[in-house]
Amino acid sequence: MHLNALRRRYLAELGASIGEWLKLIAAFARFQTLFLVYLHMVFFLLCWGIDRFDAPAVIELAAAVVAMTLCYVNATAVNDLSDQAADRINLAGEPDRPLASGQASPRQVWVVALTAGAISLGAAAVVSPWATLAAAAMLGLNAIYSLPPVRIAGRGALAQVLLPLEYCAFPAVLTASAVGFQSDGLVSLPEGTLRHRVVVYGLMVAAMYLIFVGRVFLKDIRDEVGDRATGKLTFTVRHGRRTAIVWSAVTTVAGTVALSVVMFVCYEASPGFVFGFCGLSLTGQVVALVQTNQAPSIAEAVLYTGIYGRWISMKVFFYVMLMLLAGQGLSFAAEALILGGTVLAIVFNVAMLYQQVANHRVRTSLVGPTPG
């Protein structure tokens, strides 16, 4: 009886412990950003095309998702370890910052980072040798991005160039590897066809990369106070908010226009839908960037950068819908109805974020301005 009680207690504690570890991993996963990465993977899947979709391909695709997710967990955990001092200033009490909020110890975060990295590498090995090399490269980038002596995060524009590789290039390699970029899937393709597919796929990935570079230019606006206080020389600290916004606009416009052109020329997407949404999304993003620059406080600027980022997520979602409809033989009216409904849902989603800005202004008027 006594042994049974001890066993039940041990199992209960083990279960609670596992639950706490899973909760900690979920905090570092930050699924709001991962959702965009998953959209990237779906988009790249549609861009490459599915050469095979048998049971092994499904397993490899699932392994690709696991590799991507845990590589990102490794990145956020290592970054939080490096930014402890700045995060205590910028993000104290935030639930998705377990270290800064005191919910986890540095030792626990190291365990999460190393475990996630190891499992990510193992999952990538299930996909293909190319995916394994890519995962190893990304885990190495995670380390040198955040940790001394290199610490790319504090080296200005270099961070803007390298960080999007994990959000665009890495999921592109994982996705293509899982569903076709292997000898058994491509050996039967004529050389010219293979070369064309690789080039077009590369152009799509490069355009998406530029769009995400625009997003990365804005990410340090939220953390500017803490970064300055701790001597972390991010692009925003070095050059100011306005310069970061200008470069964000340049890369966003370049990437969106390039993506639209490639979709029209290489995937024969309807020019009205492609370039119409290109204009709509860029207008929404430029407006959000102007509002970010004019925001009276960092807190309000962050809300506008969130709107800008939401436009990116919705842009990828729209292009996923466009790719799904391509070649389905639907009439123009049917496509217009589906894509028009998608656009209305996107505009409504963005409008909800503007409501958050209005609510923030009401709170500020009642309790006083937020410092910064």
User: Tens of pLDDT along 152-161?
Assistant: 988 888 999 9
Give the amino acid at 81.
Answer: L
User: Tens of pLDDT along 46-102?
Assistant: 888 776 677 888 899 999 999 999 999 999 999 999 988 887 877 766 777 888 777
* Residue 284 pLDDT: 96
Do residues 64 and 100 touch, judged by C-beta distance below 8 A? Answer: no
Backbone CA torsion sign across 72, 205, 313, 316: negative
Residue of higher predicted confidence among 268 and 174: 174
Whole-angstrom distance, CA of residue 277 vs CA of residue 281: 6
Q: Which domains does the chain carry? A: 17-182 (1.10.357)
User: Tens of pLDDT along 184-216?
Assistant: 444 344 445 677 788 899 999 999 999 999 999
Whole-angstrom distance, CA of residue 257 vs CA of residue 151: 32
* Cα angle, residue 226 at apex, residues 103 and 353 outer, rounded to 5°: 75
Residue of higher predicted confidence among 358 and 100: 358
Cβ-based neighbour number of residue 34 at 10 Å: 17
User: Tens of pLDDT along 215-246?
Assistant: 999 999 988 888 888 888 899 999 999 999 99
* Residue 181 pLDDT: 56
Backbone CA torsion sign across 333, 339, 345, 351: negative
CA dist list (Å): 311 to 2, 176, 180, 209, 294: 60, 26, 30, 15, 19
Residue of higher predicted confidence among 238 and 360: 238
User: Tens of pLDDT along 166-176?
Assistant: 999 999 999 98
Q: Among the listed ranges 93-107, 240-254, 328-342, which one has the minimum average pLDDT value?
A: 93-107
User: Tens of pLDDT along 107-151?
Assistant: 889 989 999 999 999 999 999 999 999 999 999 999 999 998 999
Mean pLDDT, rounded, for 326-354? 88
Mean pLDDT, rounded, for 262-279? 90
- The pTM of the full predicted model, rounded to 2 decimals, is 0.86
* Residue 11 pLDDT: 52
Q: Does the pLDDT of residue 13 top 50, yes or no?
A: no
User: Tens of pLDDT along 289-329?
Assistant: 999 999 999 889 999 999 999 999 999 999 999 888 876 77
Half-sphere exposure of 171 (CA within 13 A, CB side): 30
* Residue 27 pLDDT: 86
* Residue 270 pLDDT: 85
* Residue 360 pLDDT: 85
* Residue 291 pLDDT: 96
